[in-house]
Amino acid sequence: MSIKLGIIGGGVMAEAILSRLLAQQIYDPNTVLISEPQQQRQEFLQAKYQVNVTSDNRSVTQSEVILLAIKPQVLSTVSGDLSELSSTTLMISILAGVPLKRLEEIFLNNPIIRVMPNTPATVGAAMTAIASGKHVQSHHLSLTKNIFCAIGEVVEVSESLMDAVTGLSGSGPAFVAMMIEALADGGVAAGLPRAIALPLALQTVLGTAQLIQTTGIHPAQLKDQVTSPGGTTIAGVAQLEKQGFRSAVIEAVYAAYKRSVELGQKS
């Protein structure tokens, strides 16, 4: 069977996307080829997903679509392997920071779409932003949306916003996971067994996100609703403000954004 989806770099994010695409039957495993230098990782992906694997990036050059899922720092090494790339291959890059202009210098005539997904892809709850390069036609965009709609929500943005997207929704799962971990730690500090604290923390974050999403309520309004006069919540909110919680989150997203810009300049 011919290869429809070639993936270069079989790491964390490639697996998150792949697992969902296969589960949703967007691709048959026989039509997927992953190029990954680590033999242990190759064997793992082949055994778990029954996809084709290789350590030669040149083997994926005839794919209908290539998902570029390597670290931005190895882009120039990988680009040398792709000199025989078919000009009809759609390149989808998930590389943080790397601008379309840079990708178009490497893959001169190819349609290229810059995409920023996130790890909730694994459970079909990703947030993905998409920006199209100059050779992209409507069928390329439809194909890309079809892929990323299968892993969650999709939004089209101007490329100038992609580094900010990366700082927020690309890196965001790590920040939210730290919040969940810290909430559970707080529960443990207050005497809850860990096995109870973690599900409580998790459901609190999930339920709050669902409430805000379903009702469209502003987050500040929800905070006000929970905060009874002279009650427990305002005591906690006062501590969060004292410790610079909101400022810390703002600065985290901004630092991730700046790092994305920096990675693009180095690519």
Ligand X SMILES: NC(=O)C1=CN([C@@H]2O[C@H](COP(=O)(O)OP(=O)(O)OC[C@H]3O[C@@H](n4cnc5c(N)ncnc54)[C@H](O)[C@@H]3O)[C@@H](O)[C@H]2O)C=CC1
Which residues fall in the annotated binding site?
8-13, 57, 69-72
Q: Summarize as ranges the residues that interact with ligand A1CAB (CB under 6 A).
A: 96, 166, 170-171
Residues 6 or more apart in contact with residue 37 via CB below 8 angstroms: 55
Number of helices and strands in the chain (H, E): 11, 8
Q: Given the structure tokens 């190819």, which residue do they identify? A: 110
Q: Which segment (103-111, 114-122, 189-197, 221-229) binds ligand X by CB under 6 A?
A: 114-122
Q: Give the Cβ contact number of residue 23 at 10 Å.
A: 14
Q: According to CB under 6 A, which one of 19, 35, 122, 144 is a site residue for ligand X?
A: 35
Q: Which residue, among 260, 85, 74, has the nearest Cα to 161 in the 3D structure?
A: 260
| Residue 2, both tokens | 């011919």
Residue 41 interacts with ligand X (CB under 6 A)? yes
Question: What's the closest the beta carbon of residue 177 comes to ligand A1CAB, in angstroms?
Answer: 12
Q: According to CB under 6 A, which one of 6, 9, 172, 187 is a site residue for ligand X?
A: 9
Q: Which is nearer to ligand A1CAB, 99 or 187 (CB)?
A: 99
The C-alpha angle 116, 172, 70, rounded to 5 degrees, equals 40
Q: Give the Cβ contact number of residue 163 at 10 Å.
A: 23
Question: What's the closest the beta carbon of residue 115 comes to ligand A1CAB, in angstroms?
Answer: 11
Task: Please list every residue from 141 through 200 that binds ligand X, using CB under 6 A.
Answer: 170
The values of phi and psi at residue 115, to 5°, are -130, 145
Question: What's the closest the beta carbon of residue 228 comes to ligand X, in angstroms?
Answer: 38
Q: Which is nearer to ligand A1CAB, 234 or 249 (CB)?
A: 249
Q: According to CB under 6 A, which one of 32, 45, 95, 127 is a site residue for ligand X?
A: 95
Q: Which is nearer to ligand X, 11 or 29 (CB)?
A: 11
Binding-site residue set for NADP(+): 8-13, 69-72
The partner residues of 255 in beta bridges, in order of sequence, read none
Binding-site residue set for NADPH: 57
Length of the chain: 267
Q: Which is nearer to ligand X, 68 or 197 (CB)?
A: 68
Q: Which is nearer to ligand X, 53 or 201 (CB)?
A: 53
Torsion over CA: 64, 69, 122, 203 (sign): negative
The values of phi and psi at residue 145, to 5°, are -65, -40
Q: Which segment (6-14, 83-91, 133-141, 149-157) binds ligand X by CB under 6 A?
A: 6-14
Cα 161 to Cα 10: distance, rounded to the nearest angstrom: 26
- Which does residue 7 touch among ligand X, ligand A1CAB, none (CB within 5 to 8 A, set by kind)? none
